[in-house]
Chains A and B, each alone.
Chain A
Amino acid sequence: MGRVVVEVMPKPEILDPQGKAVVGALPRLGFTQFSGVRQGKRFELEVDGEVTPEILEQARRAAEEVLSNPIIEDVVAVTDASADAAVPQRAGLA
């Protein structure tokens, strides 16, 4: 079974209210080293067979058209994560 991981982050210029709340909470729990937090999303897309270049391309399109909203979010990675132990193959997405 193949797996593609899509990672989406709020755009840098968009204030991330959730990240702001998390960075405010960390010092209260003793984690004082972190000056900023941004919270994004990770999607794991499963396919029955191998992750072919075509499937990776479909995943990229799904990431751009559905899984993210380009007005507020960036797709930061679309990765073939079929073999967990292997180094994930990064698909270059700006």
Chain B
Amino acid sequence: MGALNSARIGVVTFPGTLDDRDAARAIRLAGGEPVALWHADADLQGVEAVVLPGGFSYGDYLRAGAISRFAPATASVIDAARGGMPVLGICNGFQVLTEAHLLPGSMIKNDHLHFVCREQTLVVTNANTAWTNEFATGQKITIPLKNQDGQFVADDDTLDRLEGEGRVAFRYDGWNPNGSRRDIAGITNEKGNVVGLMPHPEHAVEPGFGPAAADGPRAGTDGLPFFRSVLASLVGA
């Protein structure tokens, strides 16, 4: 039945979301069918996975992701994620996942106080999640990073537990761009179905529009395996 092509993956749009179109395009380029979901609608329309995209939902008022955490669509995503549905939170979406307590820790303002926008190299440290299984553990990838509140923080016990359980999914390589504890760029939950990261895989999915790569300027497509991974995990499920 062409399961790969039929996989429907939702992308939630909140007021102030910026990267929903890019996320939908990334899903399509990976071979899935993107489904637009609206923050005020609790109906997830039968999607098999969800992406919470980047942006500045509700203007980052109160705390980044804090108000989106109480949206009807987010409540449905929380339930579905606890049931095992793959959920990827990118940047502001990662902040929503921590505010929703689907992932531990939180994000505060970058230690240097500046907005940062760069092509960031990461090390994949867990290639067994729903969103990273097309990578190899230890693989270096380069995708864009752009944030103001990107400093991942958690207490030492939580950090030790994340590292001990192999739940650090990505670490910054070469330079820590925001002061994140232990160079953590992304983490996963116990089951590996929920993944959050600050950098943006959806901006590195098409040659000519991605970061610089060995093949040439803007040739980088290291973000594509995120979306292929979830399609593969859905087929295997």
Contacts and interface: CB of A to CB of B under 8 A. Distances in A.
B153 A17 contact: no
Given A66-B66, A67-B62, A72 B113 contact: no
A89 to B, nearest CB: 25
Contact of B113 (A21, A67, A71): A21
| Interface residues of chain B: helix, strand, loop or mixed (majority) | loop
Contacts of A14: 108, 153
A52 interface: no
B17 interface: no
A17 B66 contact: no
* Chain A interface size, under 10 / 10 to 19 / 20 to 34 / 35 or more: 10 to 19
A91 interface: no
Contacts of A15: 108, 111, 179
A69 B66 contact: yes
A72 B109 contact: no
Contacts of A21: 113
B103 to A, nearest CB: 11
Interface of A: 10, 13-15, 17-18, 20-21, 66-67, 69, 71-72
